[in-house]
Amino acid sequence: MLFYHEKDKKMIFETHAHYNDRKFDEDRDKLLATLPEAGIGRVVNISASWKDLLNTLQLIEKYPYFYGAVGLHPDHIGDLTEERFQMIRDYCRLEKVVAVGEIGLDYHWDVEPRETQKEGFIRQLKLSIEENLPVVIHSRDAVKDTFDIMKGEHAGTTGGIIHCFSASKEIAKEYVKLGYYIGVGGVVTFKNSRVLKEVVESTPLEAIVVETDCPYLAPVPYRGKRNSSLYLPLIIEKIAEIKGCSPEKVEEVTWENACRVYRLPV
């Protein structure tokens, strides 16, 4: 398969990856070394657990095109001790840390009590405001509570990305009104992703960023296999198809969007 960017060598911005995951242990360095030549210009590695966070800091030190987001996922919010919270605050001030995340609510697995999730979510949202960093939001089976908290606690502040967006086009529109970007990944290529396709169709391209959430959610035809940023062109091509424009246009605009939300030079 020949991806469109292999002819033009333009740059794609991977806004959400987990290269610290153990699924990359066997070939991490080899794979990451290939990203720039494959057209992946920047990668933001996202923290979930405390261990992920520390590994993310190592990755952004090692690779010049890597940046990091620091924070604790709702499944790991029970690990947010006072000492660790203060350490996260310190890490927010590192030059290559560009966001607080991924933070939010997960009512699908309910690993942590919902009230604990909400408290940790709000506390990290406030941290992002205090440290003037955008947020990367995780929301699974918690559409109303996530939106209500975002609107009440964070709207009009630092902005951010609603990662792996899975709600309706109406909710997407409301998030865009509040100044947030919609994260679109491999799910948009799935046959049963009618709702996400509607979101992409109705959301201005200027409010969309691309992501993989790798090693998870690989796009078709790699669904079920390990995902990586190398598959971002497939996501871009599907967005272009839905929007009725060229992949190059999607690449250009989503690059600018990602640079804007993460406050990096275009």
Q: What is the pLDDT of residues 158-193, one digit of tens each?
A: 999 999 999 999 999 999 999 999 999 999 999 999
* 194-202 vs 232-243: helix crossing angle, rounded to 10: 70
Reported in sequence order, the residue ranges of the chain that DSSP labels E, i.e. its strands, are 12-17, 40-46, 66-70, 97-106, 135-140, 160-162, 180-184, 208-210
| Contact predicate 76/18, CB 8 Å | no
Distance CA 127, CA 132 (A): 8
What's the pLDDT score for residue 1? 45
Q: What is the pLDDT of residues 118-164, one digit of tens each?
A: 999 999 999 999 999 999 999 999 999 999 999 999 999 999 999 99
Reported in sequence order, the residue ranges of 40-79 that DSSP labels E, i.e. its strands, are 40-46, 66-70
pLDDT averaged over every residue in the chain: 96
Express as a percent the part of the chain with pLDDT over 70. 96
Q: Give the pairing type, strands 135-140 and 160-162.
A: parallel
Distance CA 32, CA 24 (A): 10
| Contact predicate 135/88, CB 8 Å | no
- Residue 72 half-sphere exposure, CB side, CA atoms within 13 Å? 29
CATH code for the structural domain at 5-262:
3.20.20.140
Mean pLDDT of 65-80: 97
Q: What is the pLDDT of residues 207-224, one digit of tens each?
A: 999 999 999 999 999 999
What's the pLDDT score for residue 248? 97
Domain boundaries, the chain: 5-262
CA distances from 128 to 51, 77, 90, 210 (A): 20, 16, 12, 22
pLDDT at 7 over 60: no
What's the pLDDT score for residue 2? 45
Transcribe 7-46 into DSSP letters: HH---EEEEEE-TTSGGGTTTHHHHHHHTGGGTEEEEEEE
Percent of residues in the chain assigned helix, strand, coil, to nearest 5: 50, 15, 35
What's the pLDDT score for residue 130? 98
